[in-house]
Each structure stands twice: as structure tokens, then as C-alpha cells.
A and B are shown apart, each in its own frame.
Chain A
Amino acid sequence: MAVFEARRAGGTFTTLLLILAKDLRVEWRTREIVTSMGLPALLLVIVLGAGHADAASAPTAMWVTYAFSAALGFARTFALERGGLSALRLAPVDGAAVVLAKTASNWLTLLIVQLVSLPVFGALFTEQIWTRVGALALPLLLGGLALAVVGTLLGALIMQTRLREVLLPLLMLPVMLPALIAAVGATTAILDGQPVRAVSAQLQLLLAFDILFAATSLLLFDVIVEE
């Protein structure tokens, strides 16, 4: 069984990869999360693009879309674990690996949403999004990671709560604000034509945010994973 192999292989990292592979395999077969995140994201892009749509409004539109997709989607990822993580809890796996794997799978799902929506943003808002996509990669990745880390942490916490789909945006977005401000600032500057070097302050803030909340997730993983 895969789980016992993890124990023999001795490792948080191996466990992480196994759980991640399992999540991605399930997602590949059901396409549930990508749909529940991707469709609202696409709708949001189009609705926002129907209004005032130019290079100035693009960064805000992008990050509002990503933040709301994350808030909608991440509430699902823990709900999908049949029996509320009990299988994972019973398995002799490191809790930290579970948290990291969940965060990674959430991050990858969000990345897919970001990639799929980029052409649409480019078409509706400004083609700069396509031409500057290389420079945009860093804010997109770091900002997406911030959303994934905070979303996984809070999503796991409220797994058993009533009305969790409503609660997750309410809890996530205030905490995310510094990261979103930094991400929007970086995206604005890059779309304006500035080099990545010029947004180093925002990227540093994003990185600090990511590290801080990843560390918090790891420190509190037993609270997250346990009953």
C-alpha cells in the first residue's frame, strides 16, 4: 500500500508527493475543483471586462478574480475528503506533509485557473498581459502561493463549520489584504512596462507573507488536521 511505502521511504517529502499525487489524480478524474474555481473565475473576468476594461483596471480585476476563485474553491478541497480527513489522520503520516500537500494541490489548481484566465484577461483588458507574461510570472506565482497558503489554513480550520463556503471568503480576504495590495502593485508596475527589479519591495512583501503563513500552517498543523 502506498502509505506503508511512505513509512519505509522515510519521509515527509515522499508522503507529501504521494498525497499530492492522490489529490491531483482525483481532481483529474472528477475535474470538480477546477470547474468550481475556473467557471466563476471566467465569469468574473467577463463581467469585470464588460465594464471599464483597460490596462489600468486589469491588475485589480485579475487579483479580485483570483482571490474570489481561491475563496470559493478552497472551501471545497477539504470537503471533498470523504469522512473528513479521517483516513489521512489514521494513516501513519506526518501531519505537516498533509498540510503541505493540500497547500500544494490548492496552489496548482489556482495556477491552472490563472493560466487559463490569462488569455481572456489579455483579450479583454490589455495585450500587455501577454507580452509581459514572463515578468508577471513572479507576482502571479508568489501571490497565488499566498492565496493557497492562507486558503488552505483557514479552509481546514472551518471544515466542520456551518456555512463554510460563506465563511471562507469572510475570513480569508482581510488576512490576504497586504498580499493582495502588494500583488496588485507589482502587477500594475509591470504592466506599465517597469522591470521586475522595480517591484522588488512588493515581491519581498509577498515572499515574507508566504513564508510567515507557511510557517504558521506548519506550526499549527496538528490543530488543522486533528478532530
Chain B
Amino acid sequence: MNDAALFFQLSVQLGTPFLLATLGGIMCEKVGHLNLGIEGMMMLGSFFGFMAGFLSHNPVLAVLAAVAGGAFGALIYAVITVTLKGNQTVTGFALTIFGTGLANFLGKPYSSQIMDSTVSAALGVHSIAGLSKIPFLGIVLFSQSLFVYLSIVLAAAMLFYFQKMRFGLAARMVGESPGTADATGINVDLYKYIHIILGGALCGLGGAYLSLVYVPYWQDNITAGIGWIAVALVIFSGWNPVKAIFGCYLFGILKGMAVKFQGISLSVLGLKISIASQVMDMMPYILTVVVLILTAIAAKNRSVGPASVGKSYFREDR
């Protein structure tokens, strides 16, 4: 029983950077911006968080630096796609190239350096008194690092924000129909900026989790493609922050299985089926494509996801 609990505990940890990145992606797409720069923002957050933590030995500063790093990348993206009405797809790309490059470049001196233990410990595993004694769940959910707790809280907060708060509703309107939002007096550009930057901050946190707690030494390309997968997970979770939790943890389970078992062998109806770990790695993407197809069929003529994703808003075009 304990083995299983430990396995799921690992899965949650594996899923957490995905969750934070996905939440960041959702934040951005809700206001109509497809941000393919998630990987770049994660790298920026990861590095600046690491550098701050390494040099200052202060966990709070480390987290703040990570948030700032991700937000900085998002700001560049926002200026180009919101104010300068640049192409969202390519700008996201450019941000990834730039962000990853800059983080790798600045991080060379820190290569293979381990994060300061004060910081790792402070942000690391803290069992929640009482709750952590619950069998199974206690280990899986309540003996985790601060990042894990934070990510779950943020996901719930985001859902509440979008569904129940007037700013969240306004943000959704901006993403669905900027012209209509504009007509009711909502400042479309301001909402876009704020949410894109917040999204970047979340991605930065995701990256920081890796460099501050999970890994926790610095290496080139520490995020290893998590940001790209997050793009898929945003769709997979239907742009819903709480569904994202499940999607990302499911992902974490798949990844955990790939790591632990080097593939799985199943006995189905008497036949032995072996699935290599690489094939299992493919699963999330294949599933996402399936989800994309099904959603498109169901939506018929309407769009999938916030309706204005990918388009620049220009008032005079009205």
C-alpha cells in the first residue's frame, strides 16, 4: 500500500510543473491569446529563481525572482501581440527561443550547481499536520512541497475567479468577443496585459519548482519541453483550471509509470501486451488530438476555446 502511495506522491510531483504551466496557459488563452512561449517563460522563471535563491539563500526572494522572470517574458509577448498587434503564433515561438536561450546563456556559470539547501528545504516538503496522517491520501496530497499546495490553491482560485467574480467574467468576455467587451466599457488591452503577465508569472513558478525543489540543480534546458506539453494540456483540460489538475496529475501518473516501469505489460483477455515507455509517452498527445477532433465535431460551427484566440483586436475594424 505504501508503495502505491509513494508512487502517486511522485506522480503529483511530476504533474506539478505541468499544472503551473497549464494554469499560466489558461490565463493567457482566456483573454484570447495563444501563447506558445510557455516554455520560454518557464525557463526564465526557472533560472532567475535559481539565481536569486542561490545567491541570496532566501526562499521568498527566489520565488519572487521566478515570478518576475516569467512575467518579464510575458510582458515582451504582451507588448508585441496586444499593442503592436503582432502575430501571436510566431511571437510565442520567438519568446521560447529567446527565453530558453537567455536562461541557458545566463545559467552556464551555474551549471550543475545545487540549489541552496535553505531554499530547497523552505520550499520543499512540508507535511500538513494531522492531514498527513490519513492513510494513502496523507502521503499523496498532504506531504508535498509548498509548490504543490500552491498550485492546487491557485487552480481553485482561478476557477472561482473566472466563474464568480466580475473581473473574471470581464476577462472571459474579452477572450470571447473583444468588440462586445469594448462596447460595454471594458478596457480590452488592460485586461489582456494583466492576464498575460499573470500567466507568465505562473509559468515562471512552474519553472522555479524544478530548479528550486524538484531537481534541484541547474542544467541546460531544465524544463525539457514541459512548456510545449502544457499547450496541449490547456486544451485537454478544456480551459478549466480544476480539470487541469486532473489532467496534469494523470499526466504525472503516465510519466511516473514510464520512469518506474520502463513500459508496462498488461494481460488483457489472456493476451500479453507490452507497451514501451516511449509509446506511453505518446499517449497525452494522441489523447489531445482526439479531444481536439471530438470538440471540433461537437462545436460544429462555433469555435473551440475562447473565440478570439489568435486574432489581434483592432477597434477601428468594427
Instruction: Answer whether A and B are interacting partners.
Output: no
